[in-house]
Homo-oligomer: A and B are copies of this chain.
Amino acid sequence: MPKNQQFKEFQEHSVAEFFKKNRQMLGYSGKIKSLTTVVHEYVTNMIDAVEEEEDNLPEAFVKIEEMGPEHYKVIVEDNGPGIPENYIGKAFGQMLAGTKFHRFMQQRGQQGIGAAGAVMFGQVTTGKPTKIITGQGDGKILECELSIDVKKNRASINNKKTYSGEMKGTRIETELKNVLYQKGRYGIDEYLRRTVLANPHLKLTYVDPEGKTIIYDRAVEDIPPKPKEAKPHPRGVTVDDLLGYALRSNSHKIKSFLRNDFTRISGKKVKEIQKKISFDLNKMPKDLKWDEAEELVQTFKETDFMRPPTDVLVPIGKKRLEKAVEEQLEPEFKQVVERKPKVYRGGVPFIVETALAYGGKAGNNNGDNEIEIMRFSNRVPLLFNKGTCAITKAVKSVDWDRYGIKDNTPVTILVNFTSIHVPYIGAGKKSIAEEEEILNEIRLSLMKTGRKLGKYLKGKRRQRKRLQKKKTFEIYIPEISKSLSEITGKKEEEIKKHLQSIVKQRFSDIKEDE
């Protein structure tokens, strides 16, 4: 090759081209997984959309139609606010565009990739655009066909028509080929079942490819509070983030920038910080140098701050989760733990919730002799890539044996990770990265549930032992009664009754039906 030849081949390519070529990074590898991923992206988007409106209980419709061998149509409809005409392209036909990426707010989606990825997957497997029908409840309905101009990463919209009619919400229809519908732990049925488990306020109607309709009614009727947009917490913010915030700040002094743009930094705290650092906080935020920012971050680490406010995070909630676990798993024993909010890298607040269910329908029914783990992030079920997920790692790091929990103990563990920003390992949002603080919190909550179940199991074992003892005594009563009767001359029946009453008294804690 002549000198510098290869540099002449330099090209730029769009993010859509990148993900088209590497669609497996978005979860499009494997026929079953690909179909579930499309449903996952649309359902996630949908619930987020509905929850943008206050006082709107989400109602969703999901239908999978079989069109031919390995050929399906996915239809998802919601009762959300609908999409204005001029935003449809950005919402569904352009990657890295959206409302969610720059927000510091708990949402299911966060990248502005997912829905466009599903549209693109439909397009590259069938050559067909995605149909979108949307209404904002103002008597007008908009219908169009949308595809992605992959080279430009821009939507191309065709056959647009507006007509009169009553509709509030959005309906998406995408055809897919080279995918497969199957029941089982990686299929849509399981995905939706878990979605309902973590979103008990959702009403979901699901029509499967055989035409069977399953209606999941709401387990609770109250709308969960809408998460507030958050400010970063000083503990754990990085130098680079701090400089980025400073650059975007409207404040004229670093002092006011710290007070306004962070949570939990009061005027008093600013004074405390000023005392510890070497430069004047009266300078302009944009004049903050790297070394100074580094000093500030170090000082943050050595300063006590209140925990981040809880209203920016909306976990499922202890009662709701208990109710959902009760209804879905009917366990013999359950334990739900909700930890206090913590922060990880960049001052990002998060909350870990853990539920442990024992007996009933709990436990892994797949015959692989492992504890069943249900993973969720911001209430979204994570079915794939369990091997690399912080939740799985945390579960495996706990010494369950210590609590009397073995591989074949019928246990289901549910972990919901709630955060402003979930550090997903891949753009496909299938598993959570092992940030130390996250791993630690999950571990602690698991150990707490483990201890509780351990106590319960110990009690159960003790009971079982005492029951055996009781039974042993009971077996020997006739023989002993007989010989005592012979020795003492008393009536055998009388002695028997007496002995039985002694046994009954001493083992009064044992239930008869066990």
Contact = CB atoms under 8 A, between A and B. Distances in A.
Interface of A: 1, 3-4, 6-7, 9-15, 17-18, 21-22, 24-25, 29-30, 52-54, 81, 83-84, 87, 90, 94, 96-99, 101-103, 111-112, 123-128, 136, 178, 238-240, 243, 290, 293-294, 385-388, 392, 421, 423-428, 431, 433-436
A386 B386 CA distance: 11
Contact of A87 (B1, B10, B178, B240): B10
A127 B294 CA distance: 9
A202 to B, nearest CB: 20
Contact of A30 (B112, B123, B434): B434
> How many protomers of this protein does the assembly include?
2
Nearest to A11: B102
Contacts of A21: 101, 421
A310 B282 CA distance: 68
26 contacts: A7-B83, A9-B102, A10-B99, A11-B101, A11-B102, A13-B96, A13-B97, A13-B102, A14-B96, A15-B15, A17-B96, A18-B101, A18-B111, A21-B421, A22-B423, A22-B424, A22-B427, A24-B423, A24-B424, A24-B425, A25-B427, A29-B423, A30-B436, A125-B240, A127-B240, A426-B426
A3 B84 CA distance: 10
Contacts of A84: 4, 7
Nearest to A98: B10
Contacts of A101: 11, 13, 17-18, 21
Contacts of A29: 423, 425, 433-435
A50 to B, nearest CB: 12
A433 to B, nearest CB: 4
A7 B421 contact: no
Given A97-B12, A101-B21, A238 B124 contact: yes
A130 to B, nearest CB: 15
Given A1-B53, A386-B387, A425-B428, 10 more contacts: A4-B136, A7-B87, A9-B103, A11-B97, A12-B97, A13-B112, A17-B101, A22-B111, A125-B240, A385-B388
Contacts of A3: 81, 136
